[in-house]
Amino acid sequence: MTIVDREYLARAAEETIRLIEIARKQARIYPLRHPAVSEVAQNLTRVLEKITAARPTVSLNIAQKEVFLDEVPLTNATLTENEFIELCVAKGVGAITFHAGVTSDELLRFIGLLNERNPALRDKLVQAGVSHIEIGALVSLTDFNALTEFKTPAEQAARNNYDQALDTVWDTFQDLQRGRAVDTGNIELTVRGMVRGLVTDRNVYRRLANIKDYHNYTFNHAVNVAILSLLVGVEVGLTPDQLNRLGVAALLHDAGKLKVPPELLSKPDALSSEEWDIVRKHPVDGARILLDQCGYRGIAITVAFEHHVHYDLSGYPKIESIRKPHLFSRIVGLSDVYDALTSDRSYRKRLMPDTAAAMILSRGGKDFDPPLAKLFVRAVGMYPPDSVVILTNGESAIVCEPNVGEPFRPKVKLTRKGDTMIDLRQTNIRVGKCLDTALSILSSQ
């Protein structure tokens, strides 16, 4: 779809909603057949005729308090559009689909039913003989939850591994904070469990990496970076022993943040140059902490030291004695940035996964190793599992699994059809827009 097409559809959506709301309000004052109502319905018919001239159907979709015409979102919603959204939410309406051939008489009956208190709008339309307008149910957070539960024994075991990893990071960072020796055996045991599970079922770990916890960001971030790094490590072809070492290094990559004052890490405003100097010390501090308190020699220290160096060495700390960072440092650096971009922070809202992935690809050759950046998106997916998306046919869906080589055509579950899964590679449908990840939506409530 071209930019011109999207702009046209956005304007058409605004006009459609404006006319629906005018007709609905007029119908509260005048009979449905009064010219004050019927003339607006005729104007609406003409708008819909133009839209459906090039497509058999068009849908107004309501999701996450946003409105879309098919997959095209309305930006900067007006008061009228917000009133329309509130009406739809109150009536449990998630989609209004207009088929080519819709008549002004059908639109009048539809408008009349919109003003009725009875919420059974879908059944009422059928009873009224309206065949060119369909109503889809609003998808609630409960519906998202039902579609994203960890149901199978393997999924539950993976979730247990995730929770154990969170506990391990918490205990480790508490020991580091208090200057105590760290139980590295427990860290390595936790990582081995994650590696075994991830090699068996990568997709469930892609789902787990979507879990976000604003209030426990440090620990949540450490586990997510470890999972993302392991996903890339599998894609690269690392051995189980290499994956174990990568996982430990990823889990501890930000140990130096313990030396940064908490008020700087949670500061909502831009950091001053002096404050940035403090933050930029955390890779060096992290390497020292892992050496002194964990007794690590080798890759964990290297990754803690190098994960912000950047592929072109433009990051920090400044290093002139190497040509490029270690492979594990490059993997963890990618995973660190991606998880940070897709998480809410005190100074900005999170980016959607596809936007973050596109940003990473755009920084190939600068911040990131170009082939590794492509492998990262291949491993994680442009739209990771549990992403809530609007498809190009106007349907809302939850991504089940990415398709390698077809980043815009993952396997999805249509939210209005429960467990029905569709492989978009076998259709002419693509993802139009990513709204959020279901686990992020649920954790923010």
For residue 247, the model assigns a pLDDT of 97
Whole-structure pTM value: 0.77
pLDDT of residue 140: 56
Say what the pLDDT of residue 441 is.
Answer: 47
Under-70 pLDDT residues of the chain: 1-6, 64, 75-77, 118-119, 139-149, 214, 416-419, 438-445
User: Which residues have CB under 8 Å from 436's CB, separation 6+?
Assistant: 64, 352, 387, 388
Q: Is 250 helix (H, G, I), strand (E, B) or coil?
A: helix
Residue 348 in 3-state DSSP?
strand
State pLDDT tens for residues 74-109: 766 688 888 888 888 888 888 888 999 999 999 999
> Element (H or E) spanning 375, and its range?
helix 370-380
Instruction: List beta partners, residue 414.
Output: 397
Single-letter code of the amino acid located at 270: A
Give the chain's domains with CATH numbers.
3-138 (no CATH), 145-380 (1.10.3210.10)
Q: Is the peptide bond before 283 cis (omega within 30 degrees of 0)?
A: no
pLDDT value of position 443: 52
Nearest to 291 by CA among 366, 196, 368, 184: 184
Query: For residue 63, which phi and psi values (nearest 5 degrees)?
Result: -150, 130
Helices 299-306, 327-341: inter-axial angle, 10-degree rounding:
50
Q: What is the pLDDT of residue 218?
A: 87
DSSP string, 92-118: TEEEEEEETT--HHHHHHHHHHHTSS-
Q: What is the reported pLDDT for 442?
A: 46
